[in-house]
């Protein structure tokens, strides 16, 4: 469960949440930007622009509630198949977000990090990513992790390659390979596994997201598209999470 301060506990109670039954780590698949835009008669890129507002709202509310980590699926390795014009807009939007949110990250005491492959990202985007990581490295509040150019299978492949190199170099024997070693070899090494995975736009799949890490995560799906996601929807996800019994393969008490 999330380790909350007194102010975070008070805020949780004020919005009808049990501060002792909040998830420690929340992961979100932010889906439906394009569909929302189409329904409104807007171009797809407007959905991405409006989605940034939902990101801000969600980050701020998770900070208020004392959530330990929030991981957002921003760009998958499969998204490179989209039209180049949309990709260019996404990269511009991402760069602007990283730059404009820097002050807020520091004000909220957020520690910023990123998972995914750096290859394929522009030097300008990487520069903003690295600067946010650098300036927030000593912050002690919520960890905000963006999954950018990320794929769960790619992550596992990279982990296997890392382990294989150690075996080839004689620094590791095959008998020493266990779940803990694999976990330490993933992009998310040192992070807690997600307790709750939220997906918007009513899609009932995990879309190659944190495949190893969500083995025992609770799944919560909403019909709302990401630009419609707000604090009230987040609270509903947390209430539903609090009512679930997490047995991790064991028996109920």
Asked if the model's pLDDT at residue 202 lies above 70, the reply is yes
Contact status, residue 196 vs residue 222, Cβ threshold 8 Å? no
86 vs 152: which has the higher pLDDT: 152
Residue pLDDT, tens place only, 204-220? 999 999 999 999 999 99
Domain boundaries, the chain: 20-153+193-240
| pLDDT grade for 3, boundaries at 50, 70 and 90 | low
d(CA 25, CA 197): 9
- Superfamily designation of domain 20-153+193-240: Decaprenyl diphosphate synthase-like (3.40.1180.10)
For residues 173-182, average pLDDT: 96
Contact status, residue 67 vs residue 23, Cβ threshold 8 Å? yes
For residue 224, give the H/E element and its range. Answer: none
Residues recognised as catalytic? 31, 79
Q: What is the pLDDT of residue 247?
A: 72
Asked if the model's pLDDT at residue 142 lies above 70, the reply is yes
Q: What is the pLDDT of residue 253?
A: 55
Cα–Cα separations (whole angstroms), residue 4 to 10, 21, 170, 199: 9, 11, 44, 24
Residue at token pair 């409006």: 50
d(CA 253, CA 43): 51
């Amino acid at each position: 469960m999330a380790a909350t301060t007194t102010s975070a506990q008070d805020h949780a109670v004020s919005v009808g949440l049990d501060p002792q039954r909040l998830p420690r780590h929340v992961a979100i698949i932010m889906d439906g930007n394009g569909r929302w835009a189409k329904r409104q008669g807007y171009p797809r890129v407007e959905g991405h622009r409006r989605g940034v507002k939902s990101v801000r709202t969600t980050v701020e509310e998770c900070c208020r509630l004392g959530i330990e980590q929030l991981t957002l699926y921003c760009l998958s390795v499969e998204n490179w198949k989209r039209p180049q014009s949309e990709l260019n807009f996404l990269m511009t939007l991402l760069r602007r977000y990283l730059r404009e949110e820097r002050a807020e990250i520091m004000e909220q005491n957020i520690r910023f990090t990123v998972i995914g492959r750096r290859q394929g990202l522009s030097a300008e985007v990487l520069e903003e990513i690295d600067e946010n990581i650098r300036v927030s490295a000593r912050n002690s509040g919520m960890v905000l992790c963006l999954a950018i150019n990320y794929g769960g299978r790619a992550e596992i492949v990279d982990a296997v390659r890392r382990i294989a190199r150690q075996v080839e170099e004689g620094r590791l024997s095959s008998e020493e390979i266990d779940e803990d070693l694999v976990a330490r070899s993933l992009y998310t090494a040192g992070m807690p596994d997600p307790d709750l995975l939220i997906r918007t736009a009513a899609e009932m799949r995990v879309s190659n997201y944190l495949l190893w890490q969500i083995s025992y995560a609770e799944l919560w799906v909403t019909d709302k598209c990401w630009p419609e996601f707000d604090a009230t929807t987040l609270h509903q996800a947390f209430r539903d999470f609090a009512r679930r019994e997490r047995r991790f393969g064991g028996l109920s008490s």
